[in-house]
């Protein structure tokens, strides 16, 4: 999905509407129903990438996800020419190095000053999957990432939970909410694009994906989501780093 050019004044804040209805520019591949693992693996193929948040919460979850084929860092390492994993979780990074044998990982805050290893290379992508919803000030966070890495990284790839997921409407009809209690935000395509635009990036396109694996036997669900991309569980946004 691409953002229409007419939307840019609103994303940039030079124009305003209190009740805009947005008609997005859908692409043929938007009706291909796939998981975020499939999409990110495809984009990472043969590329040099930085994977932020590679630990995935805690070591116990890593083993569980590996057993189910859902540990993203392994999927990206298997696809990319080089995948450097960074995370603020020092215990988790030690686990990846000492127990799982991943040498190309580092305990690091990508918004901080101590990012020397990332500045020694040129990178195709910085992957930021399922991170932004945990950040209190996402515009400030993304702005600091851009300030640190513009010139060394070409593109940013973000995945976040989609506010329009079908299950949210079903639960809301019953007066219920299901949520990861560490999340600060749900996102819509517009709200995510607004945040990324304000942080200074150049937005290229968006996709909608399933958070987990797409089961081939789930014929009815797959048919439903192939025709209704905006009700899938994840939004994926690709943007260019712009100069500092």
pLDDT attached to residue 57: 76
149 pLDDT tier (thresholds 50, 70, 90): very high
Instruction: Kindly report the pTM of this predicted structure.
Output: 0.96
pLDDT attached to residue 7: 96
Closest CA to 162 of 112, 210, 114: 210
What does the angle CA 223 – CA 226 – CA 230 come to, to the nearest 5 degrees? 130
Query: What distance in Å separates the CA atoms of residue 15 and residue 118, rounded to the nearest whole number?
Result: 37
What is the tens place of the pLDDT at every residue in 66-118?
999 999 999 999 999 999 999 999 999 999 999 999 999 999 999 999 999 99
44 pLDDT tier (thresholds 50, 70, 90): very high
Query: Which percentage of the chain shows pLDDT scores above 70?
Result: 100
What is the tens place of the pLDDT at every residue in 47-61?
999 999 999 877 888
pLDDT attached to residue 60: 82
Q: Which residue has the tokens 């994993």?
A: 85
- On the 0-12 / 13-18 / 19+ scale of CB atoms within 10 A, 21 is exposed
pLDDT attached to residue 119: 97
User: Per-residue pLDDT for 244 more than 90?
Assistant: no
Q: Would you say 123 and 50 are in contact if contact means Cβ atoms under 8 Å apart? A: yes
CATH code assigned to 32-240: 3.40.50.150
């Amino acid at each position: 999905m691409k953002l229409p050019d007419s939307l840019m004044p609103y994303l940039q804040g030079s124009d305003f509407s209190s009740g805009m209805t947005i008609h997005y520019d859908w692409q043929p591949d938007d009706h291909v129903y796939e998981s975020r693992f499939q999409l990110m693996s495809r984009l990472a193929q043969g590329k040099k990438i930085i994977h932020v948040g590679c630990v995935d919460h805690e070591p116990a979850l890593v083993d569980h996800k590996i057993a189910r084929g859902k540990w993203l860092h392994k999927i990206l390492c298997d696809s990319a020419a080089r995948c450097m994993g960074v995370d603020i979780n020092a215990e988790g990074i030690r686990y990846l190095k000492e127990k799982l044998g991943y040498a190309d990982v580092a305990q690091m805050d990508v918004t901080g000053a101590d990012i020397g290893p990332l500045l020694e290379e040129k990178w195709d992508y910085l992957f930021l999957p399922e991170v932004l919803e945990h950040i209190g000030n996402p515009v400030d966070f993304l702005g600091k990432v851009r300030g640190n890495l513009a010139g060394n990284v070409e593109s940013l790839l973000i995945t976040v939970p989609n506010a329009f997921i079908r299950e949210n409407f079903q639960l809301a009809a019953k007066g219920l909410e299901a949520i990861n209690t560490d999340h600060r935000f749900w996102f819509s395509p517009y709200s995510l694009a607004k945040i990324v635009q304000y942080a200074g990036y150049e937005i290229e396109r968006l996709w909608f994906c399933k958070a987990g694996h797409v089961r081939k036997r789930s014929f009815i669900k797959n048919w439903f989501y192939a025709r209704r991309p905006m009700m899938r569980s994840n939004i994926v946004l690709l943007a260019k780093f712009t100069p500092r």
